């Protein structure tokens, strides 16, 4: 244990892990943003007066939240290409990083659907009535009045979702993506010592998550001061 720490703790290996950490951060950020768009659509569907979009949104949220993210990654990685090959006879190869972003975005979208729906429901009823009095359309009401107030309420849980995505990005190492965790495994295999690079990877994860958490606390205080 830690026998090769002195050999592993080099500028080259630190830079290698730093690149993996940056990749994990980028994948998490993209997944958060795409998931936010999906969340808005999902929340709109769940609040719809029409049964079809409401049923689709409810089905999506229940299925995605009720199954593990790792399983979703593996389905996109192996099951979908197998189905494609079965129908077309051609091999479908999807970039592993793209698979990670797609799976994590879909997964995050389901959770953000509930966050956004909760935020919208938390907007004071008087705001809705005022918009109706002014004759605003449903789209204008949501875009100009309701969503800005709802997003202000959901900033803290969205920050927490971002932190979760950073940690969950390690799951794409199972399909060969060389992010932070996989980078630590590669170094560990090279030096026959997995504990040292794992500890270094843990430091990188802590730096990212604690920094995002501190940023979230700052933003939350700024929003509270503006009320």
CATH number of the domain that 123 lies in? 1.10.3720.10
DSSP 160-171: HHHHHHHHHGGG
pLDDT in tens, 88-105: 988 888 999 999 999 999
Q: Is the pLDDT of residue 227 over 70?
A: no
pLDDT in tens, 52-82: 999 999 999 999 999 999 999 999 999 999 9
Residue for token digits 């951060």? 25
* Domain with 181 in it: 5-225
Res. 118 pLDDT band, cuts 50 70 90: confident
Res. 125 pLDDT band, cuts 50 70 90: confident
Pick 67 or 86 by higher pLDDT: 67
What is the reported pLDDT for 19? 96
What is the reported pLDDT for 72? 97
Q: Is the pLDDT of residue 17 over 60?
A: yes
Please give the Cα distance from 167 to 163 (Å, whole number).
7
Q: Which two tokens stand for residue 180?
A: 């932070």
What is the reported pLDDT for 141? 75
Residues 6+ apart with CB under 8 A from 121: none
Query: Could you give the number of structural domains in the chain?
Result: 1
What is the reported pLDDT for 140? 74
Instruction: Let me know: does 145 contact 12? Beta carbons within 8 Å.
Output: no
> Three-state SS string across 83-112, please?
HHHHHHCCCCCCCHHHHHHHHHHHHHHHHH
């Amino acid at each position: 244990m830690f026998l090769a720490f002195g050999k592993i703790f080099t500028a080259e290996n630190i830079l290698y892990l730093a690149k993996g950490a940056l990749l994990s951060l980028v994948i998490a950020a993209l997944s958060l943003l795409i998931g936010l768009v999906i969340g808005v659509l999902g929340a709109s569907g769940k609040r719809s007066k029409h049964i079809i979009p409401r049923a689709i949104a409810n089905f999506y949220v229940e299925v995605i939240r009720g199954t593990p993210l790792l399983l979703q990654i593996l389905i996109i990685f192996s099951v979908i290409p197998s189905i494609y090959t079965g129908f077309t006879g051609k091999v479908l190869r999807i970039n592993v990083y793209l698979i990670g972003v797609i799976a994590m975005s879909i997964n995050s979208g389901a959770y953000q659907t509930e966050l956004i729906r909760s935020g919208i429901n938390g907007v004071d009823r008087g705001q809705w009535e005022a918009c109706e009095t002014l004759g605003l359309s449903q789209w204008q009401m949501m875009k100009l009045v309701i969503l800005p107030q709802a997003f202000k309420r959901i900033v803290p849980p969205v920050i927490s979702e971002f932190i979760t995505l950073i940690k969950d990005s390690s799951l794409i190492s199972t399909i060969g993506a060389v992010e932070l965790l996989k980078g630590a495994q590669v170094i560990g295999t090279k030096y026959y010592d997995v504990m040292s690079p794992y500890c270094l990877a843990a430091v990188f994860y802590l730096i990212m998550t604690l920094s995002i958490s501190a940023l979230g606390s700052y933003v939350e205080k700024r929003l509270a001061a503006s009320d």
